Amino acid sequence: MTIFIKNKYTLQIDEFRLRCCIGKKGSTKNKKEGDKKTPKGTFKIENLYFRKDRKNKPLTSLKCIEIKNDMGWCDDIRLPKKYNKLIKIEKKIKHEKLFRKDYKYDLLIPIKYNFKKPIVGRGSCIFIHLTKDYKPTAGCIALKEKDFLIMIKLIKKNSKIKII
């Protein structure tokens, strides 16, 4: 099963069309760290991460991982071995904190962009996460919670996402 991002505002799975938002500066084939663009291409997806203190474990066939307070996603271009990987937060490592004060990462799925052998500076922390207002993201794809919950019921761990 493939998740299609048709344009800046539409995520489609089979006949389901869900409203979404993407990077503030659109999408690109030539992603760079911090460019506020969503990478174009077809990518595998990771596990579902969720805030157990705020959400029940969702109904999905994806592997569900509870987000802990010390979890981060490395976006530090000085650390090639940790770049674009889940890490335990350390003060000296630049990262995206997963256990946030806001709601955006209460449910999230990392997109396996620049993932297996990450190239430093080509972009990191590309997630499918939550939004309440559809404001453009820093490069992720965001959906309202009700649509996110529909999406995770439909997709499987071998599903891919195609960003056009």
Beta strand 2-7 with 141-143: parallel, antiparallel or unpaired? unpaired
Closest CA to 67 of 94, 104, 22, 113: 104
Distance CA 119, CA 123 (A): 8
* Model pLDDT, residue 90: 94
The mean pLDDT value for 93-119 works out to 97
Do the Cβ atoms of 124 and 110 come closer than 8 Å?
Answer: no
Structural domain of 25: 2-163
* pLDDT at residue 1, as a whole number: 86
Task: Quick: pLDDT tens for 13-37.
Answer: 999 999 999 999 999 999 999 999 9
In the structure, how many helices (H) and strands (E) does the chain have?
Answer: 1, 15
DSSP state for residue 45 in the 8-state scheme: B
Q: Report the pLDDT value the prediction gives residue 6, as an integer from 0 to 100.
A: 87
> Given the DSSP bridges, would you call strands 48-50 and 41-44 parallel, antiparallel or unpaired?
unpaired
**Nearest C-alpha neighbor of 108 from the set 148, 54, 139, 137:** 148
**For range 112-128, the mean pLDDT:** 97
Inter-residue contact 128 to 141 (CB < 8 Å):
yes
What's the rounded mean pLDDT across residues 35-47?
98
CATH classification at residue 31: 2.40.440
The count of structural domains within the chain is 1
Q: Could you give the CA distance from residue 18 to residue 26 in angstroms, rounded to a whole number?
A: 18
% residues pLDDT > 90 (the chain): 98
